């Protein structure tokens, strides 16, 4: 099977696996234990925080580890909203966010917060004017992902920083799809979240960062681990492997960019010959990500045919059932249910070879030829 679903998850690298096995074998203590074995585990955690902080240019005191980026999104956004609710209860996000972010805001709505969903253009981008029109006197937090997992569009977060600073509004971004692949303006954010398994690290480990200068309130009271941010014993082997994955992604960034750019341009040139639509922004996007629609074909059909031919791709989150509404992302950018059902996503990584990619291009060409031009 040729794997082309890197936006869903990535395989662990050999280096990351070696780090995980080594730490799991040699530093297995509970970091809260008072003996030397516990101290060794605690020391590994602090070393990892410092290493990540150096790579991302953040304060290690603001780093918290979670079981996933989804959990990190929930705990971060809720902790910030709770801490600043006396100033206001108005929150802003978009309908193009990850489901974990959207579900978090639905939860906050149930807790008497008022949520506004700033409109986006047909590429899924937020404009400064649209954001300014959504801001109110009681707005306390804005959450906009740096890059969108379905469309691949990268948001220009830099353009939002000045107005948010002016109005003293907290700025959070889900950077799960971006870290290690593209530059992220972390210095402009009050908080961010990311995941290990998107950068060739382990599953079951996420990271939340909250600027230590920003007040936050724990979601659960009485929690002693990680300054009260999240309960439970920290998984030190996964933290070490996650750290190794971040380190490796930064070390190999130049080689990654060159390889991904070459495959990206190769695929875009071929697309011009096909009855195919690229969703998301044509240039300001993740280069390893292609969200596509073929006229006259459902995305689920393309995915199943690809699977039969030995290629792993995805259909995004568009639902093909007639009694369901389109994914919120597609509704937000003005697509019909029929158009949403045509969507499929191809995403590749550093280990994707040109031979594998050419084989997939040949598969798509044969699929298009077999179906013929749509009416």
Q: Which residues contact 187 (CB under 8 A, 6 or more apart)?
A: 57
Q: Which of 375, 153, 150, 152 is nearest to 275 (CA)?
A: 375
Q: d(Cα 341, Cα 18) in Å, to the nearest integer?
A: 41
| Catalytic residue from among 7, 48, 175, 319 | 319
Q: d(Cα 102, Cα 93) in Å, to the nearest integer?
A: 8
**Residue appearing with tokens 């369901």:** 324
Supply φ then ψ for residue 152, to 5 degrees. Answer: 85, 0
Q: In what order do the strands lie in the sheet with 63-66?
A: 63-66, 206-210, 191-195, 170-174, 139-143, 90-93, 114-117
Question: What element of type H or E holds 279?
Answer: strand 276-279
Dihedral of CA atoms 34, 39, 45, 46 in degrees, nearest 10, equals: 100
Active site includes 319? yes
Q: Is residue 317 classed exposed, middle or buried when 0-12, 13-18 and 19+ CB atoms within 10 A define those classes? A: middle
Are 67 and 98 in contact by the 8 Å Cβ rule? The answer is no
Instruction: Give CA angle at 233 (231, 234), nearest 5°.
Output: 100
Q: d(Cα 191, Cα 161) in Å, to the nearest integer?
A: 13
Query: Residue 227: left if φ>0, alpha if ψ -120 to 50, beta else—which one?
Result: left
Number of H helices, E strands in the chain: 12, 12
Q: d(Cα 158, Cα 136) in Å, to the nearest integer?
A: 20
Q: Which of 98, 95, 133 is nearest to 335 (CA)?
A: 95
What is the β-pairing status of strands 276-279 and 289-294?
antiparallel
* Token output for 341: 């059902």
Are 348 and 8 in contact by the 8 Å Cβ rule? The answer is no
User: Which active-site residues does the annotation give?
Assistant: 319
């Amino acid at each position: 099977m040729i794997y082309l679903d890197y936006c869903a998850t990535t395989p662990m690298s050999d280096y990351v696996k070696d780090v995980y096995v080594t730490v799991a074998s040699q530093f297995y203590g509970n970091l809260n234990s008072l003996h030397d074995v516990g101290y060794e585990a605690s020391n590994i955690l602090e070393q990892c925080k410092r290493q990540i902080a150096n790579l991302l240019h953040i304060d290690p005191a603001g780093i918290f580890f979670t079981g996933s980026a989804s959990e990190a999104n929930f705990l971060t956004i809720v902790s910030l909203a709770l801490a600043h609710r006396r100033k206001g209860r108005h929150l802003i996000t978009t309908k193009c966010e990850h489901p974990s972010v959207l579900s978090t805001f639905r939860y906050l709505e149930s807790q008497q917060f008022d949520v506004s969903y700033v409109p986006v253009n047909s590429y899924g981008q937020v404009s400064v004017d649209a954001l300014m029109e959504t801001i109110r006197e009681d707005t306390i937090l804005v959450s906009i992902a740096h890059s969108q997992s379905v469309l691949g569009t990268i948001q220009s977060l830099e353009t939002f920083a000045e107005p948010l600073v002016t109005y003293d509004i907290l700025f959070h971004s889900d950077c799960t799809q971006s870290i290690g692949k593209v530059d992220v303006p972390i210095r402009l954010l009050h908080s961010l979240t990311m995941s290990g398994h998107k950068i060739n690290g382990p599953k079951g480990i996420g990271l939340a960062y909250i600027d230590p200068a920003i007040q936050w309130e724990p979601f659960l009271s009485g929690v002693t681990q990680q300054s009260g941010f999240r309960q439970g014993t920290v998984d030190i082997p996964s933290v070490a492997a996650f750290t190794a994955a971040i380190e490796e992604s930064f070390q190999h960034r130049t080689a990654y960019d060159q390889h991904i750019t070459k495959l990206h341009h190769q695929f875009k040139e071929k697309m011009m010959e096909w009855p195919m639509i690229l969703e998301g922004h044509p240039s300001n996007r993740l280069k390893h990500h292609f969200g596509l629609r073929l006229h006259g074909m459902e995305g689920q059909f393309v995915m199943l045919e690809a699977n039969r031919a030995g290629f792993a791709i995805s259909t995004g989150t568009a639902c093909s059932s007639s009694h369901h509404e389109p994914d919120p992302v597609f509704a937000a950018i003005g697509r019909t249910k029929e158009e949403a059902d045509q969507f499929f996503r191809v995403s590749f990584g550093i280990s994707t070879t040109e031979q594998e990619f050419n084989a997939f291009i040949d598969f798509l060409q044969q699929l298009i030829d077999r179906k013929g031009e749509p009416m």
